Amino acid sequence: MARQAQLDRTTSETSIQVDLDLDGQGRHDVQTPIGFLSHMVEQLARHGAFDLTVRAEGDTHIDGHHITEDLAITLGKAFAAALGDKAGIRRYGSATLPMDEALVTVALDLSGRTYFVWRVELPKAKIGPLFDSELAEVFFEGFARGAQINLHVHKHEGQNLHHIVEVSFKALARALRDACELDPRAPSVPSTKGTLTE
């Protein structure tokens, strides 16, 4: 059974299209008007081994907030849709990854219940012309909400903003890859309740 999803989200502020294949090879075609955001979403595909196509437009003449949040929500919903009833998945995933001086842990549970913890202190600054540093938290929170997952992100070390945010996305990718992976030893829904919906 194909674990794929195609989602569109259009509002007066943004237009988002996402095409996701959980069992891909990391192929990606991501186009947004925010270069750093595109680069981060490419990390999810490459390091998660998901095939991902994204088209995103929005009111970046205001700032980058709306397009970042709406893309995160839509991408999260695409993961939820592609996972279906979640039968046979490993459910949990975590990764602690370094990038030069930065070290970040991401842990998650594809529980069907949204909970988000962000322990990543970042000074207010820009990474590229349109990505404010606080948009990293906006993206992760929106993704957790869209995917309905329990998501924790903790920074252990780091000074360089680009490194901290990028390794956070890479750790999310690796944790998602583990959690979405099919477990041949446990083909049913991985919950004593028999369901992973709220």
- DSSP label at 149? -
**CB neighbour burial string for 39-53, b if at least 16 within 10 angstroms, e if fewer:** bbbbbbbbbbbbbbb
The rounded Cα 166 to chain-centroid distance in angstroms is 12
Structure tokens at 55: 């088209």
Tell me the domain boundaries of the chain: 4-180
Q: Are strands 115-119 and 150-157 parallel, antiparallel or unpaired?
A: parallel
Structure tokens at 107: 């842990």
* Spatial contact of 96 and 171, defined as CB atoms under 8 Å apart: yes
Tens-digit pLDDT profile for residues 78-87: 999 999 988 8
109 three-state secondary structure: strand
Quick one: pLDDT at residue 40? 98
Q: Give the pLDDT of the chain (198 residues) as one tens digit per residue.
A: 789 999 999 999 999 999 999 999 999 999 999 999 999 999 999 999 999 999 999 999 999 999 999 999 999 999 999 999 888 889 999 999 999 999 999 999 998 899 999 999 999 999 999 999 999 999 999 999 999 999 999 999 999 999 999 999 999 999 999 999 998 877 656 554 556 576
Tens-digit pLDDT profile for residues 112-147: 899 999 999 999 999 999 999 999 999 999 999 999
* Spatial contact of 73 and 145, defined as CB atoms under 8 Å apart: yes
pTM (2 d.p.)? 0.94
Structural domain 4-180, CATH architecture: 2-Layer Sandwich (3.30)
Angle at the Cα of 34 from the Cα atoms of 109 and 108, rounded to 5 degrees: 5
What phi and psi values does residue 51 have, to the nearest 5 degrees?
Answer: -85, 130
Greatest Cα pair distance in the chain: 51
